[in-house]
Amino acid sequence: MDNPLLLIEQENGIYILTINRPEALNALNKGVFDALEAFFREHSGNYDVKGVIITGAGTKSFVAGADIKEFSALDTAGGSALSKRGQDVFFMIERFHAPVIAAVNGFALGGGCELAMSCHIRVAGTHARFGQPEVNLGLVPGYGGSQRLIQLIGKGKATEMLLTADMILADEALRLGLVTHVVESGQEVAKATEILQKIATKGPLAVQQTIQLINAYFDKTVDGFKKEYEDFGLTIGSEDSKEGAAAFIEKRKAEFKAR
């Protein structure tokens, strides 16, 4: 069913999800979380989905954080439960079988920066700004920011950003590796689409397993090297890998079937 908080468009298996609360700079309220969860739950493991782009409505903001007006009345137990729920939704994004790209078209603050960091790749417009300003509100990050920011940019700069609440500009985010492309404002979705179209030509099972292997690196309960040789066996035993090799030898484009 259409949800006005999360606009969904699709072309050739590439989905564009637009968080649509421009009057609140696309702050994440419960309705947006519910809609994101519903999308990723419904499409989990569906290989017709070749990739997903998440962006914000308007030109000013990707997502300016969790909705401050919604969480101010929470107590300790309620806050922890909501934080865990938000983390679980962002894990669904991080573990999605197909690539998810954040097209960051403005402010990516607090929960917005955390949402972008749960995506596999980030593309920013020149006017994008990133920050974790929770300490301004007397809070710590609640949706994985204290962990993923360190994973992406290292402990030193992450510590400074988390403790000062300072925003960084797109160019600095590029330099730090928080984003992989900075494009002219308004071109974020186009760049993300170009990247997803390229990945869509690859073996879908290999793409899925590669995402899992990258996640395994950060999962202290998984031996990533062991998982790699197991997944190598899994992919080399697949029909797709036979097709990939045949296409190479026959000098034609591979027709992968996710089998």
Mark whether 114 is an active-site residue.
yes
Q: Please report the sign of the dihedral spanned by the C-alpha atoms of residue 190, residue 213, residue 172, residue 134.
A: positive
Q: Are strands 6-11 and 51-56 parallel, antiparallel or unpaired?
A: unpaired
Q: Please report the sign of the dihedral spanned by the C-alpha atoms of residue 114, residue 80, residue 40, residue 62.
A: negative
Nearer to ligand DAK, 82 or 123 (CB): 82
Per CB under 6 A, 69 contacts ligand DAK? yes
Identify the residue among 7, 92, 137, 169 touching ligand DAK (CB under 6 A): 137
Nearer to ligand DAK, 142 or 204 (CB): 142
Identify the residue among 35, 57, 64, 216 touching ligand DAK (CB under 6 A): 64
- Contacts with ligand DAK, 195-234, as mask; x by CB under 6 A: ----------------------------------------
Q: How far apart are alpha carbons 38 and 88 in whole angstroms?
A: 12
Contact at 8 Å (CB) between 231 and 213? Answer: yes
Mark whether 228 is an active-site residue.
no
Nearer to ligand DAK, 68 or 213 (CB): 68
Contact at 8 Å (CB) between 44 and 89? Answer: no
Contact at 8 Å (CB) between 240 and 204? Answer: yes
Contact at 8 Å (CB) between 62 and 192? Answer: no
Token reading at 85: 């729920």
Per CB under 6 A, 87 contacts ligand DAK? no
Which residues are known catalytic residues? 114, 134
Query: Where along the sequence are the contacts to ligand DAK (CB under 6 A)?
Result: 24-25, 27, 64-69, 71, 74, 79, 82-83, 86, 107, 109-111, 133-134, 136-137, 139, 142-143
